[in-house]
Amino acid sequence: MSDYQTPAPGAGMDAFFLARGIAVIGASAEPTKIGGRPVHLLRRHGYAGSIYPINPKGGEIQGLPAYARLADTPEAPELALIAVPASHAVQAVQDCAARGVRAVVVLSSGFAEAGDEGAAWQAEMRAIALRHGMRLLGPNCLGTVGVAERAIGSFSVALEDYFPQAGAVGIVSQSGNIGSYTLQLLVQRGVGISRMVTTGNEAEVDLADGIAALARDPATRVILCCMETCRDGERLTQALAIAREHQTPVVVLKIGATEQGQAAAASHTGALAASDAVIDAVLRRHGALRVRSHEDLVEIGQALGQLMPIGQPHCLPRKPAVTLVAASGGFGIMMADAMSEAGLALPALAPATRARIHQVLPGASTSNPVDASAQISSRPDILFEVLSALQEDPGEATTVLFLSLGLYSSRLRDIYLQALAQLRAAYPQRPLVIISRGPAEAVVQIQALGIPVFSSIDAAARGIDALVRMAALLDAAPAAAPAVNGTGARLPEDTFRNEYAAKQALIDAGFEVPRELRAADAEAAVKAAEALGYPVVLKILSEDIAHKTEAGGVALNLGDAEAVRAASARIFASVARHAPDARLDGLLVAPMLRGGTELIAGISRDPVFGPVVMVGMGGIYAEVLRDVAVQPAPVSEDQATAMIRSLRLFPLLDGARGQAPADVAAAARAVARLSEFACAHREQVAEIDLNPILVRPQGQGIAILDALMVPLTPEPETAHAQ
């Protein structure tokens, strides 16, 4: 299998959507069966290409001539759908390869999800596909849909009663049911769909293929992605880069926030840098917008579909600010609360804007929110004038209009639709958002004007915040991570032995570490303390004790020789009780440093994305409050600075309550250098923990007070199917 190259993300995927002929292997005359549904759907919804039912019995299936073998079809279909038992699927895939089929969808289940035998079949299908350059989707998936072409490679029940209208929103989902449900909800809201791809077990085609294919697809302007897991980090980032290059927004619902690998983490960093946090950072760095609920995926996807028409510049809101309009003071207050909680500002209106509103509605309250009273809906010209004034306000905030019951009245609905149509024509690039629950036909009419409609106040608040963030992602140039040239010189074998050895490796790499000395016993510790100057810190040195404080292996603020002797005795006794079998290398004697603010920084190894850098506030803040920032390594100094500034407790570094600002620039340099160090030594280092790092006042640098390095141990080789 390794002799055949995996296709680049998105390569050859057009065969799933543009196929001129589709074979259904395992076709059934019964439209309710998995093998019968694709034939039924293709015919019902008007697929214009050739349909080839394949069934050993031949004859006729659903009014079409059936073929006993794929080899008997008058021409090679470009796409084949396989709906046979898992035990027969390998032969079906082999038949497709021999016939020259370009793409295959394995709808059948019973593969890697079912046990070792199924996993072996799945691996064999993958090998066949790679060997013949044929794209293979699934198995255990709901397949694909090309809407404009009516190329249906699916048995989804979402297509049984209605078919989507063609539009600009594409769906990529690892879960077939979630993808199908997303399609159904969007269709019900009148949103046009371009493509749907559900990847299932991902024997060959994966999520990255779907993202990259839709990013390059001229019919797709927005990609909604339902992700359960990422099996290949490099392919995902390549696909997101393609989407960014094509200015195609990717909105991701990541489910299953796992903490893979944490149980074995030896460092604080390994426990704090959870896999879900890494996915979050990867998506953000590469321009994708993550949402936390399926509702938000649908509502934000719908809004993007309205605000990003194909072939036109996007008109997403660029400022995190809103002007709120309602015919009720109570609803205005509810809107203000929700928008503020979402981080959106409510700027005051300009005097000229307020004067224009008062001219048509003398009794209106023109603070923000605008309480326009019921008079706003009395005539279309009044509504148009009020909203026009807000659209022209120099604050450039997004106008948000709340409609509670008005759309349920045919008279009021006509007023709203007339005014909104005029407004959209007059201000096509100014963002306007409506909040309304319906009725559905009225919502669809408003959306057809290119105006997003959110179903609730809270959904609108989250949605507008997301639209602003997406605009920033689209407008920003990708941040280039620093290049790490090759692999650094191999670290000495004793680097992982203890804290002193780890710090020597850091010193050699240019990190700021205070002068420290080793001591074999209490008297040697006294001599070292006198050489460094009191007060000092004593710490046990042992390759078997990762967390020294828990073992009683640390003593602070020792001011004289007697204190050092007594502390030495306490440390050796405590360690003997806590870890009687630990190998000891004596004591580390270090100066007792005061002043400054503590940070924690470190490296862990994500099973998918490799080295990951973490930074957080030191002490209890990192582990109790989990106030940390995570990024895939390496990061630049600017990216490291952004990580530090993103911490909730960053004001402690920034001179809160009259304190001197800390040397954030020096801390950022250390975090960036640490990320580069980890990448250069990725073949040797699994985890690094610098805890604490003392960040001194501005201009005075940092001091790494404690360090732990964990070596990378090779994982046992196990056979597994893709």
Tell me: do 348 and 273 sit in the same domain.
no
Phi, psi at residue 503, to the nearest 5°? Answer: -65, -35
The answer to whether residues 260 and 290 belong to one domain is yes
Share of the chain above pLDDT 90, in %: 77
Share of the chain above pLDDT 70, in %: 93
- Confidence grade of residue 442 (pLDDT, cut at 50, 70, 90): very high
Write down the pLDDT at residue 265: 42
CB-based contacts of 151, cutoff 8 Å, min separation 6: 16, 17, 18, 19, 22, 47, 49, 79, 144, 145
Residue 510, domain member (yes or no)? no
Kindly report the CATH number assigned to the domain that includes residue 535.
3.30.1490.20
Residue 276 inside a domain? The answer is yes
Give the Cα separation of 156 and 517 in Å (integer): 69
- Give the residue with greater pLDDT, 328 vs 66: 66
Q: Which residues contact 375 (CB under 8 A, 6 or more apart)?
A: 361, 363, 364, 382
Residue 63 reports pLDDT greater than 60: yes
Band the pLDDT of 571: cuts 50, 70, 90: very high
Pairing of strands 517-519, 222-227: unpaired
Is the pLDDT at 320 greater than 50, yes or no? yes
Measure the CA–CA gap between 495 and 436, rounded to whole angstroms. 63
- pLDDT for residue 242: 97
Do 261 and 332 share a domain, yes or no?
no
Residue 720 counted as domain residue: no
User: Which comes out higher in pLDDT, residue 273 or 466?
Assistant: 466
Q: Which two tokens stand for residue 103?
A: 């793409």
Average pLDDT over residues 332-356: 96
Across 372-482, the runs of DSSP E, i.e. the strands, are 398-402, 432-435, 453-454
Q: Is the predicted pLDDT of residue 483 greater than 70, yes or no?
A: no
Cα 231 to chain centroid distance, Å, stands at: 14
Burial class (CB in 10 A: 0-12, 13-18, 19+), 449: middle
pLDDT of residue 264: 41
Tokens 């008007």 -> residue: 46
pLDDT recorded at residue 75 = 96
Domain identity same for 297 and 207: yes
Residue that wins the pLDDT comparison between 482 and 586: 586
Residue 393 lies in a domain: yes
Q: Are 310 and 221 in contact (CB under 8 A)?
A: yes
Is the same domain home to 551 and 642?
no
Tens digit of each residue's pLDDT (9 = 90 or more) over 661-691: 999 999 999 999 999 999 999 999 999 999 9
| 609 and 585 housed in the same domain | no
- State the pLDDT confidence band at 3, using cuts at 50, 70 and 90: low
Cα distance between the two ends of the chain: 11
pLDDT of residue 334: 96
The residue with greater pLDDT, 46 or 621, is 46
What is the pLDDT averaged over residues 536-540? Answer: 97
Banded model confidence at residue 262, pLDDT cuts 50, 70, 90: very low
CATH of the domain at 378: 3.40.50.261
Same domain, residue pair 429 and 350: yes
- Residue 350's alpha-carbon distances to 163, 325, 361, 396, 613, in angstroms, are 47, 15, 16, 11, 45
Is the CA virtual torsion 36, 37, 38, 44 positive or negative?
positive
How far is Cα 451 from Cα 448, in angstroms, rounded to an integer? Answer: 7
What is the mean pLDDT of the segment spanning 23-44? 97
Residue 537: closest CA among 559, 507, 510: 559
Mean pLDDT of 60-72: 97
Q: What is the pLDDT of residues 362-376, one digit of tens each?
A: 888 889 999 887 777
| Mean local confidence (pLDDT), 259-281 | 59
In this predicted structure, what is the pLDDT of residue 274? 54
Please give the tally of structural domains in the chain: 4
| Claim to verify: residue 150 and residue 247 sit in the same structural domain | yes
Q: What is the mean pLDDT of residues 288-305?
A: 95
Residues 461 and 344 sit within 8 Å (Cβ to Cβ): yes
Predicted local distance difference test score (pLDDT) of residue 480: 66
Supply the pLDDT for residue 312.
Answer: 80
Q: Is a pLDDT exceeding 80 seen at residue 215? A: yes
Among residues 251, 284, 307, the one where a domain terminates is 307
For residue 198, give the CATH number of its domain: 3.40.50.720
pLDDT band at 429, cuts 50/70/90?
A: confident
Q: What tens digit of pLDDT does each residue of 240-249 get? A: 999 999 999 9
Instruction: Write the pLDDT tens digit of every residue in 188-211.
Output: 888 999 999 999 999 999 999 999
3-state DSSP call for residue 454?
strand
Calculate the alpha carbon distances from 330 to 327, 348, 369, 460 in Å: 9, 19, 10, 17
User: In this structure, are 38 and 148 located in the same domain?
Assistant: yes
Looking at residue 391, its pLDDT comes to 94
The reply to whether 415 falls in a domain is yes
Judged against a pLDDT cut of 90, whether residue 398 lies above it is answered with yes
Sorting pLDDT into bands at 50, 70 and 90, what band is 263? very low
Query: Residue 36: what are its φ and ψ, rounded to 5°?
Result: -95, -30
pLDDT of residue 583: 93
Domain of residue 405: give its range.
322-475
- 383 and 521 part of one domain: no
Buried b (16+ CB within 10 A) or exposed e, 646-665: ebebbebbeeeeeeeebbbb
pLDDT band for position 186 (50/70/90)?
very high
Specify if 553 maps to a domain.
yes
pLDDT, mean over the chain: 91
Backbone angles phi, psi at 324, to 5 degrees: -105, 135
Domain match, 255 and 339 both = no
| Domain finish residue from 591, 610, 627 | 591
Residue 613 in this model has a pLDDT that exceeds 80? yes
Q: Is 148 found in the same domain as 101?
A: yes
* pLDDT at 560 > cutoff 80: yes
Mean pLDDT is lowest, of 292-296, 636-640, 651-655, for 651-655
200 is a domain residue: yes
**Residue 5 resides in a domain:** no
Residue 327 has pLDDT above 70, yes or no: yes
**Residue that finishes a domain, picked among 568, 591, 614:** 591
388 has pLDDT over 90: yes
Say if residue 142's pLDDT is above 50.
yes
Confidence category of residue 621, pLDDT binned at 50, 70, 90:
low
What is the C-alpha separation between 100 and 23, in angstroms, rounded?
Answer: 12
On whether the CB atoms of residues 95 and 71 are closer than 8 A, the answer is yes
